[in-house]
Amino acid sequence: MELLLLPPVPAAAPGLLLHRGGVSATRDEVFAVETPPSTESWHPLSHRSLVREVQAGLVSCGFRVEAENHALSHAGARYFGVFSISLPSRSDNGVGWVVGLRNSHDKRYPAGLVAGTRVFICDNLAFSGEVQLSRKHTRHAARDLPQLMARAIGQLGGKLRQLDERIAAYRDHTLDDRSAHDLIVCSIDNRVITPTQIPDVVHEWREPRHAEFRARTLWSLFNAYTEVFKGGNPHTAIRRGQALHGLCDGALELAS
């Protein structure tokens, strides 16, 4: 299967979160990072092999890779990337599908994959916990990677369509200010945001910077959060995106 080669991504490319020394990188720059030598108990995966395996799996499962963004930090030891993907049969609803990747050569975290959404109008990302892969850097990590990726990517189509249905439900669920404020307070307990971020979320809810989110719905509140997430730590954003989906799903269950 021939891989789809995309042009280099310019600095500060949309859809990628950078934090604490992270810099936007091209595919060639990511591939040029040297992988540290293995030890008896630690066998790091190369950034190159992770990116190639994910893209090969996406293409073989019929996904169209529309864009890719990459970032490196800690002198190349930590990698984070985002693939914007779709299926030919998918209708345009203003929300894109994304696959987030991460890898490290400093034992900070295992190689991983998570799926989520990208809102085009404001270029916000929110990762869902429904499709995840995590592989520690142990002896057979490189051998097992293709099978693990194939298994995770094989779930993507159905899970991402469920995510579209979830977003449609958010759009259909109306909220008044009191309900929105209650959810914002609850989000502290759910670790969606920190207490210091409450004013920012409230402001985005009351005065959304994008006209598309002036409707008083759960979807507008969801995007108030993701607007505040922008520019934060990508690994924290994964956890908070998962918690945000849980919070909003809980609001739908209470209303049903």
pLDDT of residue 217: 98
Quick one: which of 206, 226, 222 has its CA closest to 214? Answer: 206
Tokens 């900070």, residue located: 108
∠ at Cα 12 (8, 13), nearest 5°? 50
Q: What is the mean pLDDT of each run of 10 residues along the chain (256 residues)?
A: 32 47 86 92 88 89 90 90 88 85 86 79 63 59 71 81 92 96 94 93 96 96 91 72 90 80
> Is 44 in contact with 35 (CB distance < 8 Å)?
yes
For residues 96 and 33, give the distance between their C-alpha atoms in angstroms, rounded to a whole number: 29
DSSP labels for 19-61? -TT-EEE-HHHHHTSPPPPP-SS--PPPHHHHHHHHHHHHHHT
